[in-house]
Structure formats: structure tokens, C-alpha cells
Structure 1
Amino acid sequence: MSLPSPKTLHADISTARLLLSALALVLIWGSAFTMVGVGVRYISPIWLVAGRLVFGAMLVTTYAYLRGHRFPKLSDVRWRWYGLLGITGTVLPFFLLSVGQLTINSGITAIIVGGMPLITIILAHFFTDERLTVMKFIGFTIGFFGIFVLFLPDELSLGLISDWKAQVLILLAACSYAVTTVFAKRVPKTPASLGAAMMLICGASVSVIFALGSGIPDAAPPMIGFLMIIGLGLGSSGLANILYLWVIDKSGPTMLARINYFTPVASVIFGVTLLSEPFTWKIVASFLIVITGVMISRIGQNRR
């Protein structure tokens, strides 16, 4: 039996690294909702946001510097752009998610946020050159119905669930992510890791100001609270950004689209197994409907 050529071996190693990175992203993003659900039990939402962004900014800034990038002058217009993205892409959605998860479990949160690409489709039609096609509209309609299922009681009466307001906050967080995606298309050209660092620094600065304005806690949170801050900061806000940029560079956006399909699944599994969250028919039905809508909306995109 002949040994594989160096070229084939290198390709196999690169593929393995890509798959491992994709798996890591699924686990990090999926567990983030679970960690937020635990963190808000011990820390106020705004301090949880501030803590995770500070740790995330430190890690990504270090990574950007190791890549040889340096920050532009404060007068550079890119700081204003990334300041805006820091608010719409980190501070606002992180805060809305934290408040919503005071009463909403992590699995439902992940499914609602998973509908973000559908919201982006509508916003992109009005604010970019990406037109709304028939398939995109059908996908949006189907996916939005999947999210609506989560607002219905288990017995499918005409009323709404008691904590529907919290789910609206989660939906608004998804809208904020979608707005960030649209805004990001207009940002002046910047190395990805440097842009991510600038965005996190701006987000961390704003969140710390608001956290201090809300008042300093009377007592330090228990160790589990600190662990959630560190885990969210170094994980979903830090390491995930680095892996995200690497995967995009090596495989393009298609791989990321596929990863997003599995993130809600991981979140539901973490929530059910670690937090004993309920696993209901609505979670399954909503997830399948939302994913179907997202997949339909992407028909034809790869060809273009």
C-alpha cells in the first residue's frame, strides 16, 4: 500500500483543522446561551455584558497585535464605524439577551437568534444592493412562522405565553445582529482581526460606562458568576471571533452558514442536559421550521 503524497496529506490535515474549528465554533456559540442563562442568576445583565466584553476585547486585541496589525488614530473614521458596530453588534444584543434569559431558557433563545439571517434579508433589500427574491421572501415567511410558534402556549390556544415580552427582547437582539450585518458592509476596508478588536473595545467601553452608571454591586458575585464572565469573554466574545475569522479565510461564508444550523441544536442539548430545561414539541417544531426557512432563502445564493 502506497503512502499518501505530501500534498494529499497536507490537504487532509487542513480539512481536519477546518472541521475541528467548525466544531469548536458550534460548541462555543451553543454553550454561550447556556452560560448567559447561568450568569444572569448571579450577576446583573449589564455587568455580565461589561465583563464578557472586557475579556473578549483583551483577547482579540492581543491576537490582532500578534498578527502585526496596529490601531489607526482616534480621528480615523473607522473608529466611528466600529463604535456603532460595537453598540449594535455587542452591547445592545448582549444586554437584550441577558435580560430576556432571566425568564427564557437557552434553547429557545438560540432558536430565535437563529432566525437572524431572515431578518437580514429584509434589511439588506432596503439598505444594500441585495434584492429580495421570491425564494428569499418565501424563506422569510416560513422562518418567521417558526419563531411565532414559540410565542404560542403548549395547548395552541389563541393567547400568548406569559413571558412573551422576554421573547420579544430576544427577537430584538436578533434584529440588532441583523442591523450590524448590514452596517458592516459599509465599513471602510480594515483587516478582519483589527476590526473585531476595535468593535469589542468600543463595545467594552460603552458597556462599562453603563454598568458603572447602574451602580456598583454591594457584594462580589460567587465564583460561578465570575466563571461565566470569563467563559463568555474568552469563549464566545474572544476565541470564537478568532476562529470565525480563520474559518472565513479558509473556506468562505458557506461553511459559516452550515455551522449556524447546528448552533441552536447544541444550545438545546446543553440547556436540557446541564440546566434541566424542558424539551418540548414547540422547540423541535420551531427549529425545523426556522432552519427550513433559512435554507429556502439561500437557494440560488451559492450559484451567484
Structure 2
Amino acid sequence: MSDIAEPTDQHTPAAPARPADPSLRDWLLLGVLTLIGGASFAGIKLAVATALPGTVSAGRLWAAALFLLAYAYATGRRLPAFIRRQEGSGKGWTVSTEWRFMMAGGVIGYAIPFTLFPFAQQTVSSMLAGIYMAFMPLVTIILARIFADEELTVRKVTGFVLGTTGVIFLIGPAAIANILSADVIAQGAMILAVVCYAIYAVLTRRAPEMQARSFAAGVMLSSAVAATPFALVSGQDWSAVSALSWLAILFLGLFPSAIAAILIITLIRKAGAGFMALTNYATPVVAIIIGMSAFGEPLKPTFIAGLVAILIGLAIARTKQITFGARGLQRLIRPRR
């Protein structure tokens, strides 16, 4: 999983009732998606070296929005009408239901967290940001029970408790004594960003049916518009932004945002959401490897303990999905005779 909220099956066109077993191509796409997601936090670290969080957020969102709009229209998709006449005489016009969901999703699922993560990574490591993203599916489970009436089983509760324990390990006992330190505030910002991602995941389950590519493009366009005012008033010295930071912002927009969204749609349609969810386990590991090798970031024991607790909790909460993915891997390694 990248630092982009994952679309759900609801917005995936022509999804099969029972996804086919993952092929070699599916596993390769999953590997690319995992690598892109893990590298996104390194990209943010490079971007914030000379660019403010608002600049990073708006820049990557506009790059992603323009790419997804071009992709959607090139493949025969169109955005829904922005306003529609209300039913009944004399009721005038109103913003369409599709755009209400896309605008809400753009603000909650992208504009806010895409600003919070660069803010946090001004003071915390890229690997820690990647680890926190693994907590998102567990938060989604709780929010889905509250707002979408989804079943909350003992397995899911156990997984959430273990994941929360992992977050406590990440923050560390020193946070109690230094509750207002920059590091703790940054981690609080990442937790808030993760909650925003989880809210967006639940929100998409309530959204009206529409083509996945149209939905993704509309949400990204909404998020780019919402992030722009903050970038303009943030006090950014545009001449101070280095070429490397601009390249990092462009990378974040095209790869972890736009191309990742297309890969997610492709994998869900072909192999199912359970298979695609395996990125939740591998992405933090990729973020750790890149953080250590590229930036020399230290891997603290509390990071290891927190990641292990979160991943175990995630495994318990999503047992059935993991079984499906493992079966596909087994068949890939040992094909039928």
C-alpha cells in the first residue's frame, strides 16, 4: 500500500464475482505497486528538503489529477455532470451526488493527509511514516463498524488492539514526558492522516456506483483544487525550491498517486481486493529498506516492535484475505501438472 487511499471494489468496473487466481503478471504488478508505495515516503523526504508541506501536497495532487484525467478520457471515461436539476418543479439545480462524494473524498482522503505527511516528515524518518501506513486498514475496520454497519468480529477487534499496541510502541514511552515535542506532534499528524485515509475508505463504500477511472480522476481533481489555496498562502519562497524537490514532487504525483491508483484498480479487478491488500505488509518493509540505505536512518528497536505488532494485528484481522493471496502464491510456485 502506498500513501494513497485504496479504492474499493464498488468503483471497479466489471469486477468478477470470484477473482481469478493471481498470475505471474499480477504478482509483478503487486511488486511494482509495493515498490512505488514504499518509495513514496523517501520522495516526501526529498521534497520537503526545500519545499513546504502545502507546496508538496498541491504539486503532487495537480500532477496526479492531470494524469488521471488524461487517462480517463483517453480510455473512454467521462466525469459525471457537476450539477443536476433537482426532481420536482421549482427546486432548481444542485451539485450531483457523485461530485459531493468525490469532493469529500478529495479533501479527506488526499488533500489533508497529503499535507500532514510532508509536515510530519520534516521531523521524523521516512521509514517511520511507512510503518504508520500499515495501521490504516485496522482503523478502517473500526470506522466501517461505526459508519457502515459492517460486522465487527472478535478477530477484527483482536487485530485492532494489537495494531494499537504497535502504535504505542512507535510513539514510545518518552512521549509521556515530552508530549509537545516536535517528534510527538509529527507522529500525531501521521495518525490523523491515517485516520483520514480510513474515513475515505469507508466513504467510498457509501458512494454511488460509477466507473473507477472517472471516480479516481474526479477525486484527485477535487483534492488538487482543495490543496491549492493552502499552498498559495503558506509563504513558500518559490525560488528556494530545488530541482530535486520538484522532481520528487513530480514523482509523488505520477507514481505513488496516479499510476498507483491505476494499478490498484487493475489488481482489484483481476485478482481481488484480498490479493491487492498484501501490499499492506510489504510496503512498510520497503520503506524501511529505502530509509536505511538511501538516508542512513536508524532502525530503532521500538520501530521493529511496533511494526511486528501492527502486521500481526493486520494478519489476524484479515485472515481470509491472506489465505487467498497465499494460495495464489503457492500455485505460482508449484503450478498444476
Which residue number in structure 1 is paired with residue 87 of structure 2?
Answer: none
Distance change in 2, residues 1:193/1:264 (3 Å):
same
Which residue number in structure 1 is paired with residue 290 of structure 2?
Answer: 270
Classify the secondary structure of the residue corresponding to 1:179.
helix
Question: Does structure 1 residue 226 correspond to structure 2 residue 246?
Answer: yes
Shift of 1:159: 4.0
Which residue number in structure 2 is paired with residue 56 of structure 1?
Answer: 64
What is the identity percentage for the equivalent residue pairs of Structure 1 and Structure 2? 36
Q: What is the 5 A alignment of 1:103-122?
A: 103-122=123-142
Which residue number in structure 2 is paired with residue 284 of structure 1?
Answer: 304
Whole-Å separation in 2 of the counterparts to 1:170 and 1:183: 20
Are the counterparts in 1 of residues 44 and 248 from structure 2 also a CA contact under 8 Å?
A: yes
**More moved, 280-289 vs 223-232:** 280-289
Question: Which runs of 5 or more structure 2 residues have no equivalent in the other structure?
Answer: 1-19, 84-95, 324-337
Are the counterparts in 1 of residues 216 and 261 from structure 2 also a CA contact under 8 Å?
A: yes
Which residue number in structure 2 is paired with residue 296 of structure 1?
Answer: 316
Q: What is the 5 A alignment of 1:179-194?
A: 179-194=199-214
Whole-Å separation in 2 of the counterparts to 1:33 and 1:193: 25
Shift of 1:301: 6.4
Q: What is the 5 A alignment of 1:79-228?
A: 79-152=99-172, 159=177, 162=181, 163-215=183-235, 217-228=237-248
The 4+ residue runs of structure 1 with deviation greater than 6 A are none
Whole-Å separation in 1 of the counterparts to 2:193 and 2:272: 25
Are the counterparts in 1 of residues 52 and 234 from structure 2 also a CA contact under 8 Å?
A: no
Whole-Å separation in 2 of the counterparts to 1:121 and 1:282: 25
Cα displacement string for residues 138-173 of structure 1 (whole angstroms, at most 9, x for unaligned residues): 1110110011101115xx796458411110110110
Distance change in 2, residues 1:51/1:245 (3 Å):
same
Whole-Å separation in 2 of the counterparts to 1:89 and 1:67: 25
**More moved, 294-303 vs 21-30:** 294-303
Which residue number in structure 2 is paired with residue 3 of structure 1?
Answer: none
Cα displacement string for residues 197-234 of structure 1 (whole angstroms, at most 9, x for unaligned residues): 00000001111122123345252511101111110011
The two structures have a TM-score, normalised by structure 1, of: 0.90
The two structures have a TM-score, normalised by structure 2, of: 0.82
Are the counterparts in 1 of residues 52 and 236 from structure 2 also a CA contact under 8 Å?
A: no
Which residue number in structure 2 is paired with residue 244 of structure 1?
Answer: 264
Classify the secondary structure of the residue corresponding to 1:214.
coil
Whole-Å separation in 2 of the counterparts to 1:125 and 1:145: 20
Whole-Å separation in 2 of the counterparts to 1:302 and 1:283: 23
Classify the secondary structure of the residue corresponding to 2:151.
coil
Distance change in 2, residues 1:169/1:66 (3 Å):
same
Distance change in 2, residues 1:295/1:185 (3 Å):
same
Whole-Å separation in 1 of the counterparts to 2:66 and 2:27: 26
Classify the secondary structure of the residue corresponding to 1:261.
helix
Whole-Å separation in 2 of the counterparts to 1:145 and 1:64: 41
Which residue number in structure 1 is paired with residue 42 of structure 2?
Answer: 34
Q: Which amino acid aligns with 2:134?
A: G
Q: Which amino acid aligns with 2:245?
A: G
Distance change in 2, residues 1:204/1:280 (3 Å):
same
Shift of 1:77: 1.9
RMSD between aligned alpha carbons?
Answer: 2.1
Whole-Å separation in 2 of the counterparts to 1:44 and 1:259: 29
Whole-Å separation in 2 of the counterparts to 1:86 and 1:165: 24
Distance change in 2, residues 1:218/1:97 (3 Å):
closer
Are the counterparts in 1 of residues 143 and 202 from structure 2 also a CA contact under 8 Å?
A: yes
**More moved, 216-225 vs 186-195:** 216-225
Question: Does structure 1 residue 66 correspond to structure 2 residue 86?
Answer: no
**More moved, 287-296 vs 211-220:** 211-220
Are the counterparts in 2 of residues 152 and 160 from structure 1 also a CA contact under 8 Å?
A: no
Whole-Å separation in 2 of the counterparts to 1:238 and 1:108: 23
Alignment partner of 1:16 out of 4, 24, 28 = 24
Q: Which amino acid aligns with 1:228?
A: A
Whole-Å separation in 2 of the counterparts to 1:210 and 1:122: 31
Shift of 1:129: 2.5
Question: Which runs of 5 or more structure 1 residues have no equivalent in the other structure?
Answer: 1-10
